[in-house]
Amino acid sequence: MKVQGDPINLIICGIGGQGNILLSRIIGRILTRKGYKVNIGETFGAAQRGGAVFSSVRISKENNYGPLIPEGHGHVILSLEPLEALRSLCTFGNPEVITLTNTAPIYPVGVLSKRLEYPNPEKTKEAIRKLSKKSWFVNATQMAAELESPIAANMVMLGALIGIRTMPVTAEDAEAEVRRTFPTPRVDLNLEALHRGIEAVTQ
């Protein structure tokens, strides 16, 4: 299910500390190497402090697009957390959007303080399905935890993104970039996470 058109607007969202900024950088570097014009917008002033973190990745063969995606013009939403998937869909979703969601919730501090209630997981999933042309759900956090590294959920999700074949990124591209990005002792773990992500959506 290749996304057609130019530019391609990819949204990567999650919570500070999940490694989503790194994920957007890895995808951006891969596409830069492949000759695409890439512009990534990031909102990460409070990245480490519980807030929602959001990257928009604009990918074009022709033009230099700005870092911000117009409302309703997302093509693919990759979310490291289900509530954040829904939040991004509300702003950037449209009947053609493809959504890839890590199903492991991270409760906002307002839920811990009992000021807010975390949305029902099934209803959230249903809403994501309803607002997407196609939606995939992967428990990337659990899969990464099985590798004893929950932080590697971002690489599981990168694998899943490659597996659903929407973006001009191959497993080989990602492997090479993982090798360049991580220190040697972390490379194998992240490659394993990547491959588990690919398998999770292709089996």
Binding site for other proteins (CB under 8 A): 15, 17, 24-25, 28-29, 32, 36-46, 48-52, 64-73, 83-84, 86-87, 89-90, 93-95, 107-120, 123-124, 127, 130-131, 145, 150-151
CB 79 within 8 A of CB 135: no
Q: Closest approach of Cβ 203 to other proteins, in Å?
A: 26
Residue 59 CB, shortest distance to other proteins, in Å, is 11
> Rounded distance, CA 138 to CA 96, Å?
20
Terminal Cα distance for the chain, rounded: 16
E strand intervals along the chain: 8-15, 37-43, 52-60, 76-79, 98-102, 134-138
DSSP β-bridge partners for residue 38: 59
Q: Which is nearer to other proteins, 145 or 187 (CB)?
A: 145
Question: Measured from the CB atom, is 113 or 203 closer to other proteins?
Answer: 113
Crossing angle, helix 184-202 and helix 171-181, to 10 degrees? 160
Judged by beta carbon, residue 64 or residue 202, the one nearer other proteins is: 64
Least CB distance to other proteins at residue 137 (A) = 16
Least CB distance from residue 104 to other proteins, whole Å? 10
Say if residue 7 is preceded by a cis peptide, omega within 30 of 0. yes
DSSP 144: H
Strands 52-60, 8-15: pairing kind:
antiparallel
Nearest distance from C-beta of residue 100 to other proteins, angstroms: 18
Return the number of the residue (135 or 163) whose C-beta is nearest other proteins.
135
- Of 99 and 198, which CB lies nearer to other proteins in the complex structure? 99
